[in-house]
């Protein structure tokens, strides 16, 4: 028997950072994101030899372990171990023997929500294998608890819900981990035009998002005026983006992205740097009307809105920075699981 799952990565189009506590707890957050045709995959093959084999194929890491009710969190494939530990504790109450293989279409630190999406994929595979009845909200919340609370990895809430639900969603974040996912019904031609005009560019650099997020958290707790203003402006950006996309006012997208980028850089040190700023300004000088770095910042993917026929010119102008433009499509489906 083979159990498989896949969950889509996402582009955070607006409101990024407002899903991170304590801002979301104190003021409420809002984000607009969309899943794309890049995925995290998980495969489980049951065994009966009392062993657990963890294989992260993209990272070329393999660990052969004794099957025990709880695996030690030691910095080696902790996401895999964290999901297993929670599954055993909450649902199975006995150790299991299996091989778990995973792969992600984007590298860690890329800003597309890779870690959280991988947790969702692994959790989905276990739920499929063990017939655990988890609804979308239950699964996304459980993935959040595993990554943020049990493994202590800094970050927000949007990625787990994007990977689970899929599609274009306007998400609202409230006190006590309450999340409401509002799927947006967008005309197909608007989505096609959005995908055509949005260039996804990988800088060939990565960053440790937790450091930036921890700084952002400290700024909120200290009531840093500049950082708090930026957070409220990003929340406003999410509302502006939702209205523009629903109404097909796509010419406003670049301007809204640029509006958010100017404030996002004020959230914490490290969101941008000279290299990223130079990439951004080059794209703007060659026809882009706005853009933003994906995720917390500091490296990874940047995307730019290039209306009209400016796409090719912008792509050509970015070649000198040594990165790569990644092709993608928007997707409507979230987590998928199946058994062979």
Least-confidence region, from 38-47, 89-98, 171-180: 171-180
Give the SS3 label for residue 56.
strand
Structural domain boundaries in the chain: 3-185, 188-326
pLDDT, residue 136, reads: 97
Instruction: Considering the domain delimited by 188-326, tell me its CATH architecture.
Output: 2-Layer Sandwich (3.30)
Q: Name the active-site residue from 19, 78, 159, 258.
A: 159
Give the architecture (CATH level 2) of 3-185.
2-Layer Sandwich (3.30)
Average pLDDT of the chain to the nearest whole number: 93
Nearest to 280 by CA among 262, 267, 295: 262
Average of pLDDT values for 92-101?
Answer: 96
Mean pLDDT within 31-43: 97
**Do the first three CATH levels of 3-185 and 188-326 match, i.e. the same topology?**
no
* pTM confidence score: 0.95
pLDDT tens track for 140-164: 999 999 999 999 998 889 999 999 9
What are the residues whose beta carbons fall under 8 Å from the beta carbon of 192, sequence distance 6 or more? none
Secondary-structure breakdown of the chain: helix, strand, coil percentages, each rounded to the nearest 5: 45, 25, 35
% of the chain beyond a pLDDT of 90: 80
- The yes-or-no answer on residue 258 being catalytic is no
């Amino acid at each position: 028997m083979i159990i498989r799952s896949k969950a889509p990565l996402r582009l955070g189009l607006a409101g990024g950072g407002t899903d991170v506590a304590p801002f979301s707890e104190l003021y409420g957050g809002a984000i607009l994101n969309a899943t794309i045709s890049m995925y995290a995959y998980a495969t489980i093959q049951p065994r009966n030899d009392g062993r657990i084999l963890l294989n992260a194929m993209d990272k070329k890491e393999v660990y052969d372990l004794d099957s025990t009710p709880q695996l030690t969190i030691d910095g080696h494939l902790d996401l895999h171990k964290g999901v297993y530990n929670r599954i055993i504790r909450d649902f199975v109450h006995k150790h299991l023997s299996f091989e778990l293989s995973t792969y992600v279409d984007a590298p860690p630190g890329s800003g597309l929500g890779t870690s959280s999406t991988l947790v969702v994929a692994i959790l989905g595979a276990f739920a499929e294998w063990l017939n655990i009845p988890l609804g979308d909200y239950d699964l996304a919340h459980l993935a959040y608890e595993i990554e943020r609370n049990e493994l202590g990895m800094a970050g927000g809430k949007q990625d787990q819900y994007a990977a689970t639900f899929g599609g274009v969603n306007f998400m609202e974040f409230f006190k006590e981990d309450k999340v409401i996912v509002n799927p947006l019904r967008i005309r197909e031609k608007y989505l096609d035009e959005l995908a055509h005009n949005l260039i996804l560019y990988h800088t060939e650099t990565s960053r440790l998002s937790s450091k930036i997020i921890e700084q952002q958290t400290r700024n909120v707790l200290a009531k840093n005026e500049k950082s708090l203003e930026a957070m409220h402006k990003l929340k406003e950006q999410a509302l502006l983006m939702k209205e523009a996309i629903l109404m097909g006012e796509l010419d406003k997208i670049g301007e809204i992205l640029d509006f958010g980028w100017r404030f996002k850089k004020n959230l914490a040190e490290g969101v941008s740097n000279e290299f990223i700023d130079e990439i951004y300004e080059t794209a703007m000088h060659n026809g882009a009307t706005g853009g933003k770095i994906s995720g917390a910042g500091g490296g990874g993917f940047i995307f730019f809105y290039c209306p009209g026929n400016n796409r090719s010119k912008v792509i050509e102008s970015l070649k000198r920075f040594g990165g790569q433009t990644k092709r993608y499509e928007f997707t409507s489906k979230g987590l998928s699981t199946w058994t062979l």
